Amino acid sequence: MSITPEQQAEIDALREEQHETRRATVPAVEEVLYQPLQVLDHGFVRVVDYMGDDAAIVQAARVSYGRGTKRTRDDQGLINYLMRNAHTSPFEMCEIKLHVKLPIFVARQWIRHRMANVNEYSARYSVLDREFYIPRGEQLAIQSATNNQGRGTTGAGEQLALGSVPVPQAAPERRPGRRRKTRAEQIAEMQRAEATRVEAQRFQKPMTEDAQRSFDQYDRLLDDGLTRELARIGLPLSTYTQWYWKTDLHNLLHFLALRGDAHAQWEIQEYARVILDIVERWVPLTANAFHRYRVGGARLSAEGLSAVKRMLAGEEIDPAELEMSPREWRELKQTLGLP
C-alpha cells in the first residue's frame, strides 16, 4: 500500500480532531475512521464518513421518535425479519462514504453498481502515479473450461496450478496425531513450491514489463508536451485509480452479496472482504442478519422448492422430470449438500 508521508500526516491530523455531536456514532468504526485498510498490493479502503447505525434501522422501521427498543434481542429480531423478508427502505437510512484505491479493471466491475455517488481521481487534471497491479503467484490460473469469465478451479474451489512442470506431489498437510513428513516429502514440497514460483514469474515478468513500458511512454508523452487527457490513454487496466464512493446500507449489502461471492473475480472479492469487515464494525446486528439470510441462505425457484418438498417426503427425484436446467439442478444439489 502506497501512502506518502504527506498523506499519512494528513490522515493523522484528521484522526486527532474531536467533534461534539448529538448524532449516533459507532466506537468500532471511529477506531478505523480515515485509516487506509490495505487491499491487494497498492490498494486500500478508507472510511471517510458514515451516518446511522443498527438503531437507526430499527427507528425507521418503527417510525419511532426514540432510538428503537432498549433490548438488543428485540432489535436483532426486527432486523432479522427485515432482512429475511427483503425489506429495503429501513436499511437505506444508513449511509457510508469510502475512499477507495483500486485497479482500473476492478473499478470497471465496481461501477456496474449504479446506486451510489462517485467522484473519481481525474487523470485529465493530474499525473498518475506509477502504480499498477500484478497478481501474486497463487492467483495466477488458467482459463476456466466452464466459465467464460473466470479462472479455472478444482472442485474445492482453489486456483489451478499453471504450467506442466513435472515435480513430485507435496504430502498432505500434517494434522495432530499424523506422522511427521519424511525428508523426501519435505524435499518434494520445496521442489513444488520452487516450480510454482518459477512458473508464476513466467507470467508476472511480461505483465510487469508491459506496464513499465506503458508508464515510460506516458512520461515521455507528458515531457514532450502532450496533454494529460491524451497521454493517459495507453496506460494498462492494471493502473490504480482512486475514488470517493458513497452509498446506502441496502445497496452496499447488495454489492457485498455479489462481489463477495466466490463467483466474483478474486481481486474485487478482496475489496468486498475488507468492506464487510467495516460493515461488521458499523452495524453488527445487520451484519449478523446478512450472514444468516443473504450469505448463508439460499433462494429457490418454484420448481426447486417443489423438488425439495418431494425429497423431504421420501420421493426419488428424476432430474429429467423436472422443469429445471441441468445447471439449476446441480446448483440445487450443491445448496442442499447432496452428491
Active site residues: 259
In terms of phi and psi (left: phi > 0; alpha: psi -120 to 50; beta: otherwise), the region of 2 is beta
Cα–Cα distance for residue pair 15/32, rounded to 1 Å: 9
Give every CB contact of residue 168 below 8 A, 6+ residues apart in sequence: 187, 188, 191, 192
Q: Which of 245, 244, 251 is nearest to 92 (CA)?
A: 251
CA atoms within 13 A on the CB side of 123: 19
Taking a C-beta distance cutoff of 8 angstroms, is the pair 120, 262 a contact? no
